[in-house]
Amino acid sequence: MPVGTQGTVKTQSPQDLEALGVSIILGNTYHLYLRPGADLVAEAGGLHKFTGWTKPILTDSGGYQVFSLKALNRITDFGVEFQSHIDGSRHIFTPENVIEIERKLGADILMPLDVCSPYPIEFAAATVDIERTTAWAKRAKEKWRQKPGYQTLFGIVQGSIFEALRMKSLESILAIDFPGLAIGGLSVGEPKEDLLRILEFQAPLLPESKPRHLLGVGTPEDILDGVYYGMDMFDCVMPTRNARNGTLFTRRGKMTIKSASYANDFRPIDPQCGCPACRGFTRAYIRHLLSVGEILGLRLTTYHNLYFYISMMAEIRQAIDEDRYENYRKDKIAQFGMGLESLFD
């Protein structure tokens, strides 16, 4: 799901996203709470009416952003007190008021306040984090249960790269019985082998009846691996953020379109890509737009990267339906390493 941090997927309109085939987007509770404020969004009728996006929305808890502030927060069992990165004002997130904020925002899928352990972290500190995450999850579930309505609440499993803690966290979250599950605390700087090891360890323990969201992942390769280990849902700023920085995803690997080598390259980004950026414009023109700061450049690169990700997910679903996903995954990862010149072979 594309990330719409502040109520918008940067440079893309709701109509653009629908044309891409996007079925759900993610909003950021921390940022929307600070600006424009949950009360204003509620007054507008919720995020769907406020933003013009009529399909499902998932909101994270804002916890990842709060904990990333580090020196600007203070954590207790009650919740986390933090300082706004905008104006320095102080605020408190608790498991209960985060649910209230997400209710006002009107998202369809809610994430409870949790502790996302940084990497690296000692075993003892990670233990404290999962115990606090479990205690907060119970409080969030109780708050949500009082008035669930149409909104679904997921539980978040933590535990960093420690299998014993992952098992303990999962058992605790399953006991609370959330409608869906999210796997957090990965793709936060740990080695790729640890990410895969934890996924391989945890996937067989997850109930098949509940949707599984792998939070904050990631690269095309990581998504392919995540699906292989049984994950269903993904979110990441990578396709949109990379696009704004001039990095494009193609079926043969990443392209740095700002490179001087593309200044006189009048070929499309990828001749087999069906997105508007590839069908109507050249590498040289898109590089020019980015070089002079024209907004069209950001729109085209973002649309291209989102098209790449959404198309890959459609291919993944088709490969699963046709019982050929393992071969698809291997072939896709191998193609990413073939080099950009092979786009025209």
Active site (catalytic) residues:
60, 235
β-pairing, 247-250 vs 253-256, is: antiparallel
The DSSP letter of residue 344 is: G
- Of 139, 209, 214, the closest CA to residue 182 belongs to 214
Alpha helices, DSSP H, located in the chain: 14-20, 29-34, 38-44, 47-51, 63-68, 95-105, 123-145, 163-176, 192-202, 220-228, 238-244, 276-280, 283-291, 295-321, 325-336
Please report, in angstroms and rounded to a whole number, the separation of the first and last CA atoms in the chain.
32
Task: Sheet containing 233-234: give its strands across.
Answer: 3-4, 25-27, 57-59, 109-110, 152-157, 180-183, 212-214, 233-234
Judged on CB neighbours under 10 Å (0-12, 13-18, 19+), 290 is buried
**Number of Cα atoms under 13 Å in the Cβ half of residue 299:** 10
Q: Would you mind telling me the total number of residues written for the chain in this entry? A: 345
Integer Cα distance of 12 and 267 in angstroms: 24
Asked whether the beta carbons of 157 and 181 are under 8 A apart, the reply is yes
- For 297: left if phi > 0, alpha if psi spans -120 to 50, otherwise beta; the answer is alpha
Distance of CA 41 to the CA centre of its chain: 22
Distance of CA 79 to the CA centre of its chain: 24
